């Protein structure tokens, strides 16, 4: 009488990968990213002035923002006027030749925007884009 031991019989290998659960996980991650991506667009909350102008080509540049209270932000870092005037040249040189975008709230006094613009020009930056919202079609 032949004894059957464990593991002596030949088992067929299943070399297929069950991808149904992987597709479920991928779809779930895609939905999560679609919901959270608009919320992750950071920046300073301002109301841009509206103007009819030719759109700028989007470059990877430095963004300088002046909010309603006159506070200055370089990308998302808040700076005082003295800090901005002392450090902008170094920030612009470190970023390279990508250009600088100036965003200012439409209620900021004109003098504040001109002071920031003068510091940017004095630091040697020649490519400065003023950011505005497009006019609504009537």
What pLDDT, on the 0 to 100 scale, is given for residue 123? 86
Positive or negative: CA dihedral 12, 13, 14, 16: negative
**Average of pLDDT values for 19-34?**
90
DSSP 8-state class, residue 29: H
- Nearest Cα to Cα of residue 62 among 105, 93, 95, 90: 95
What pLDDT, on the 0 to 100 scale, is given for residue 52? 77
Residues present in the chain in total: 138
Say whether pLDDT at 7 is over 60.
Answer: no
According to CATH, what is the number of the domain 50-134? Answer: 3.30.420.270
pTM: 0.61
Measured distance CA(101)–CA(62) in Å, rounded? 6
Could you state, in order of their start, the residue ranges of all structural domains in the chain?
50-134
What pLDDT, on the 0 to 100 scale, is given for residue 69? 86
Reported confidence tier of residue 25, pLDDT bands at 50, 70, 90: very high
What pLDDT, on the 0 to 100 scale, is given for residue 21? 87
pLDDT digits (tens, 9 = 90+) for 34-61: 888 776 666 666 767 777 777 666 667 7
What pLDDT, on the 0 to 100 scale, is given for residue 5? 54
What mean pLDDT value characterizes the chain?
Answer: 81
Measured distance CA(125)–CA(138) in Å, rounded? 37
65 touches 100 (CB < 8 A) = no
């Amino acid at each position: 009488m032949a004894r059957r031991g464990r593991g002596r019989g030949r088992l067929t290998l299943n070399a297929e990968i069950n991808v149904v659960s992987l597709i479920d996980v991928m779809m779930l991650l895609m939905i999560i990213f679609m919901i959270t991506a608009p919320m992750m667009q950071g920046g300073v909350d301002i109301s841009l002035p509206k103007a009819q102008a030719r759109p700028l080509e989007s470059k990877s540049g430095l963004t300088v923002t002046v909010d309603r209270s006159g506070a200055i932000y370089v990308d998302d870092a808040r700076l005082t006027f003295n800090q901005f005037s002392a450090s902008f040249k170094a920030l612009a040189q470190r970023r390279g030749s990508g250009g600088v975008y100036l965003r200012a709230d439409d209620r900021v006094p004109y003098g504040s925007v001109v002071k920031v613009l003068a510091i940017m020009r004095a630091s040697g930056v020649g490519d400065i884009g003023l950011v505005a919202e497009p006019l609504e079609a009537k």
